[in-house]
């Protein structure tokens, strides 16, 4: 779900996505290893999947939240880019120029989208590169509420919201998929697809990164005019790894995935998740997180050349 990207592109590796953040003025992270039992191979906490509590929480948000006014991102660039695509192609608009979008204070709820719209208000589209087939996203009514319907056919693209930097809190969402991608394996680049993903982009001190990562980030800035986020945490519905698994992105160490649903046991069911972003970031990266600067989603089947049909309910950051 991506940022814009790197040395890794020179190897013609295709597929990893990272959310783009806004600014990069966060506090330096503590050294890796300062928090034990973290990183790939570690196990994160399992979700409770209490959909009754989720529905009540979302209803409270709908009643309490006034309409929000976008905040101009003067010093920030917002959008998504592919971290392992050709730099000349990664994440550009059709004109070839990167687009800037306003940052928001909160995530717009799909269920609160005004009637008559086919696309969710406040969520911006992004593409992996101009050669990729985009995934189709449309609002639809399911069980008397508006949700986002995703249809992928050898395709990859997503939606995102650039946020005014805020402290990591609790991320709540619900989703459903018709089936898993049976040939997918998120630890392998040629098979790195998922029917459901939610990305969280974090700010941080890029000066603390390795030389390789700093070169990658600088190449992204020079070739696309956009900044990669310091780190991206991704929640996925996996096909092979057990729930709670922390998986390293096969292209870059700056993206870590947590499997919150896995396999076919719950396909066709609404799954509700409430995740502690700070705890999950520590488990994935072994450090304390900076501020959250963007959240996005993606259903992708481009690497496995397969199909997926999924639904995203409301996503809320407390």
pLDDT tens profile 130-170: 789 999 999 999 988 999 999 999 999 999 999 999 999 99
Tokens of 90: 């990664």
Q: Taken in order 65, 66, 67, 71, is the CA torsion positive or negative? A: negative
Reduced DSSP (H G I as helix, E B as strand, rest coil) percent helix, strand, coil of the chain, to 5: 15, 35, 50
Tokens of 94: 């059709």
- Structural domain includes residue 1: no
What is the residue whose two structure tokens read 């096909």?
Answer: 239
- Structural domain includes residue 258: yes
**Which range has the worst mean pLDDT, 36-40, 222-226, 313-317?**
36-40
- Structural domain includes residue 2: no
Q: Which range of residues forms the domain containing residue 274?
A: 7-317
pLDDT tens profile 16-66: 333 333 333 233 333 333 344 677 777 878 877 788 888 888 888 888 766
- Structural domain includes residue 123: yes
pTM confidence score = 0.78
pLDDT of residue 220: 75
Q: How many independent structural domains does the chain possess?
A: 1
């Amino acid at each position: 779900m991506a940022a814009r990207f790197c040395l890794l592109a020179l190897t013609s590796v295709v597929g990893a996505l990272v959310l783009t953040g806004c600014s990069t003025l966060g506090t330096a992270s503590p050294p890796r290893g300062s928090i034990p039992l973290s990183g790939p191979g570690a196990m994160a906490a399992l979700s409770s999947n209490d959909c009754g509590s989720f529905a009540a929480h979302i209803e409270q948000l709908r009643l309490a939240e006034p309409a929000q006014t976008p905040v101009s991102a003067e010093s920030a660039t917002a959008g998504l880019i592919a971290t392992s695509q050709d730099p000349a192609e990664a994440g550009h608009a059709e004109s070839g120029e990167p687009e800037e979008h306003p940052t928001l204070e909160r995530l717009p709820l799909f269920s609160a989208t005004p009637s008559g719209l086919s696309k969710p208000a406040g969520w911006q589209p992004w593409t992996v590169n101009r050669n990729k087939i985009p995934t189709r996203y449309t609002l639809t009514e399911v069980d008397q509420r508006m949700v986002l319907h995703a249809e992928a056919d050898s395709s990859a693209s997503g939606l995102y919201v650039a946020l005014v930097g805020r402290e990591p809190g609790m991320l709540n969402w619900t989703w459903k998929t018709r089936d898993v991608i049976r040939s997918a394996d998120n630890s392998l680049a040629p098979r790195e697809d998922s029917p459901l993903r939610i990305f969280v982009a974090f700010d941080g001190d890029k000066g603390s990164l390795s030389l390789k990562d700093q070169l990658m980030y600088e190449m992204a800035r020079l070739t696309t005019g956009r900044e990669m986020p310091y780190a991206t945490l991704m929640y996925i519905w996996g096909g092979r790894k057990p729930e709670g698994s922390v998986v390293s992105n096969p292209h870059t160490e700056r993206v870590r995935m947590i499997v919150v649903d896995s396999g076919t046991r719950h396909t066709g069911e609404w799954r509700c998740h409430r995740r502690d972003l700070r705890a999950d970031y520590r488990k994935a990266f072994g450090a304390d997180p900076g501020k959250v600067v963007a959240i996005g989603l993606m259903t992708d089947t481009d690497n496995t050349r397969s199909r997926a049909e999924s639904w995203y309910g409301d996503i809320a950051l407390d």
